[in-house]
Structure 1
Amino acid sequence: MDFETLNYDIEGVATVVHAIGNGPAVLALHGAATIEGIEWARGLADRFRVYLPHHPGFGDSGEAPHVTGMQDIVVHNLHLVSALRLDRPHLVGHSMGGWMAAEMAIVAGERFGKLVLNAPAGLNHPDHPGADLSAIGPEALPGYLAHDVDVALRYFPGGAECPPLETFLAARDKEGRALGNILKAHGMGHPNLGRWLSRIPNPTLIVWGEEDRMLPASQAPLWQERIPDSRMLIVPGVGHFAMQEDPAVVTAIGDFLAG
């Protein structure tokens, strides 16, 4: 089964969406980079139609210098759902995409089915701090992304799933600018996000790799206690790239969405 590439103009932003599979719609939101790719979605494609947009300024989508915070991306994605003509798709978000998905459900939860938050960013709880990205050198980054470092190394120069070096570096430069625009307002989160989570009406699964060094799994109960209809799945032996390290995580997500 091959991925399809869909192109949309969303309020002047050239937006690329990769799609695969058949069945109920799932909108899957990537994190602060597109480094890990989209191959993981094949694990849902036998049961769902998975839509994987590249955020403005990330991956194959056009740049969007007007973005000044997460709210701009939330509104962009709500426009995108309308352009895709999706009726209450399930919503899956990883890392920064989890923060994004949570804010979408907070303001427009009735437009979605179930919600999966995979190691979501956004809370910035002082007792459970995430890694300081500015202090992580390029050589150390794979160890923060996966407990099994060899899994993360597949996506870095020299790895089997990494594009040529020039392409890799150009993508990181482009996405670094786009990420900087999103973080202008409040950094990697919002100071009031925890107060808003009780507004999420969607049945929610919070997934976390127990060995996550980027965002600690100790944050998971904070999300679960604030989202009314939620449950946790803590996965032993994997890190931030839980879906890439253990395909059973993707299966568990599919079971939750289908249940």
Structure 2
Amino acid sequence: MKFETITLDIVGVRTVVRVIGEGDPVLALHGAATIEGQEWARALAARFRVFLPFHPGFGESGPAPHVCGMQDLVIHNLHLVDALGLELPHLVGHSMGGWMAAELAVFAGERFGRLVLNAPAGLNHPDHQGPDPRAIPPEEFPGYLAHRVEVAAQYFPGGALAPSPQEFEAARNKEGAALANILKACGPGHPNLIRWLRRIPNETLIVWGDKDRLVLPGQAEVWTKAIPNAQVFIVPGVGHFAMQEDPSCIDVIGDFLQSGRSRGATSAVSY
């Protein structure tokens, strides 16, 4: 099954979307970089039509120098859903994309089906403070992304799935500038996000690797308690790149999106 490519003008921003699969639509939002790529979506493609946009300034999408906070990305994605003609797509977000997906559900949850937040950023909970990514030496970064370092290392220069060192550096510089624009307003989160989460109407699955060193897994319980219709799956023995380290958790995500569960129930589950 091959990825298709859609290129759209979203209020003046050239936006590139990869699409794969057949079935109900899923809008999947990547994190603060595109290091790990989009191959993970193949595991959902037999059951869903997965739309994987590059955020403005990331990957193959064009720049958006007007962006000065996460709310600009929320509006961008609402325009994108309209442009793609998606009706009640499920919403999946990883890391910064999880923060983005959460805010989308806070302000426009009725536009979406079910919600999956995979190690979401954005809360900055004082009891679960992770490291400042800017302070992590580049050679140590793969160890913060995956518990089994070799899984993340394959995406970095010298790895089997990595671009050339020059392309890797250019991508990180481009995406670093775009990320800085997103963080202008409130930094790597919003101080009131925890208060907003109770407005999310969607049935929600929180997925977290129990060895995550970048966005600490202790936050999973905080998110689950704050969102009214939430459950959590803690994935043992994996880090921030849970779907790359243990692809079976993608089956759990697919089952959740496909079957749902009774509204109002909350549980904590490990597998």
TM (norm. structure 2) is: 0.95
Question: One-letter code of the match for 1:114?
Answer: R
Residue 163 of structure 2 corresponds to residue 163 of structure 1 = yes
12-21 or 157-166, larger mean C-alpha shift: 157-166
Segments of 4+ in structure 1 off by > 4 A? none
Question: One-letter code of the match for 2:40?
Answer: W
- Structure 1, unmatched stretches of 5+, are none
Measure the CA separation in 2 of the matches of 1:199 and 1:227. 7
Question: One-letter code of the match for 1:79?
Answer: H
Residue 81 of structure 2 corresponds to residue 81 of structure 1 = yes
> In the alignment, what sits opposite 1:43?
43
> In the alignment, what sits opposite 2:252?
252
SS in 1 for 2:26: strand
Q: What is the CA distance between 1:160 and its match in structure 2?
A: 1.1
> In the alignment, what sits opposite 1:10?
10
Deviations 1:214-259 (A, max 9, x none): 0111000000001000000000000000000001011110010001
> In the alignment, what sits opposite 1:98?
98
SS in 2 for 1:78: helix
- Structure 2, unmatched stretches of 5+, are 260-271
Q: What is the CA distance between 1:148 and its match in structure 2?
A: 0.5
Question: One-letter code of the match for 1:40?
Answer: W
Query: 1:206-217, aligned counterparts within 5 Å?
Result: 206-217=206-217
Measure the CA separation in 1 of the matches of 2:56 and 2:194. 25
Measure the CA separation in 2 of the matches of 1:60 and 1:137. 26
SS in 2 for 1:25: strand
Deviations 1:110-148 (A, max 9, x none): 000000000000000111012211210100100000000
Q: Report the identity percentage.
A: 69
Measure the CA separation in 1 of the matches of 2:157 and 2:12. 33
Q: What is the CA distance between 1:87 and its match in structure 2?
A: 0.1
Measure the CA separation in 2 of the matches of 1:134 and 1:41. 28
Query: 1:1-259, aligned counterparts within 5 Å?
Result: 1-259=1-259
Deviations 1:180-212 (A, max 9, x none): 000011111000000000000000000000000
